[in-house]
């Protein structure tokens, strides 16, 4: 088996799980997000089989905390990403006929959360899910692909996987066509590239988690207001 296949095969499992949920028309945030269990478990099992024990199977505890400058790089990426994301959506909404009322109705049907639940989801994404995704896509997928090929391939493949995973969140929603989804994938992929570059700095994975969480809170917090949840 190709060295890359040994990494890409388990990396495909969350996509298959999310696709199955969509194919069967399952609703509710818990079911729609059940693929995240695989995103958590796959790196844990991988690290355990590679000899890691204790907290190191959950978190790269052997990495030092970043310097103040690296922390600030993470904050800057978050501010830039969330600001550009909001501006791009406001600019693109009229061209792609993105109606927040229609999109919210689609979210309500698929995820079955009200206003309070939507706020709770954003807090979960900013606090817990940001760490989960960074450990999956950067600390595990990027590094394992890079070890078996090149850093460039590791960055590009992991970032594209990160962006593509988010496409499945919007796939099939009423009022959201293919073009805005493709634009979102491109933007999120670019964010993934920036976080992969940040990860390569000393202690960068910790700054990635902060940056990712801050981006989610800022961007999705604004999204709550745009969609009328708050």
Cβ-Cβ contacts under 8 Å for 35 (sequence gap 6 or more): 14, 15, 17, 18, 21
Break the chain into its structural domains and give their ranges: 64-227
Q: Residue 173: left (phi > 0), alpha (psi -120 to 50), or beta?
A: beta
Q: Which tokens belong to 216? A: 């989610």
- Report pTM: 0.95
Q: Could you read off the pLDDT of 194-219 as tens digits, one per residue? A: 999 999 999 999 999 999 999 999 99
% pLDDT > 70, the chain: 100
DSSP 8-state secondary structure symbol assigned to residue 61 = T
**What is the predicted pLDDT for the residue at 62?**
82
Structure tokens at 24: 């069967």
State whether residue 229 is helix, strand or coil: coil
Q: What single DSSP character describes residue 141?
A: I
Where are the alpha helices (H) located in 24-150, listed in sequence order?
29-32, 35-49, 68-92, 100-111, 115-124, 130-133, 143-148
pLDDT of residue 60: 77
């Amino acid at each position: 088996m190709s060295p890359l296949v040994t990494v890409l095969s388990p990396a495909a499992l969350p996509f298959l799980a999310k696709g199955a949920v969509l194919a069967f028309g399952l609703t509710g945030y818990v079911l729609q997000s059940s693929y995240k269990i695989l995103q958590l478990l796959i790196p844990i099992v991988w690290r355990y089989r590679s000899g890691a024990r204790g907290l190191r199977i959950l978190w790269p505890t052997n990495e030092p905390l970043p310097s103040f400058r690296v922390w600030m790089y993470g904050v800057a990426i978050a501010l830039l990403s969330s600001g550009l994301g909001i501006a791009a959506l406001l600019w693109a909404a009229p061209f792609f006929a993105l109606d927040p009322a229609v999109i919210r109705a689609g979210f309500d049907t698929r995820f079955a959360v009200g206003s309070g639940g939507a706020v709770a989801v954003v807090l979960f994404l900013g606090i817990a899910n940001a760490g989960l995704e960074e450990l999956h896509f950067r600390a595990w997928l990027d590094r394992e692909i890079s070890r078996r090929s090149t850093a460039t391939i590791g960055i590009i493949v992991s970032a594209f996987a990160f962006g593509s995973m988010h496409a499945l969140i919007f796939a099939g929603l009423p009022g959201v066509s293919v073009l805005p989804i493709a634009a979102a994938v491109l933007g999120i992929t670019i964010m993934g590239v920036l976080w992969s570059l940040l990860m390569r700095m000393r202690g960068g994975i910790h700054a990635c988690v902060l940056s990712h969480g801050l981006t989610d809170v800022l961007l999705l917090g604004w999204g709550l207001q745009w969609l009328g949840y708050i």
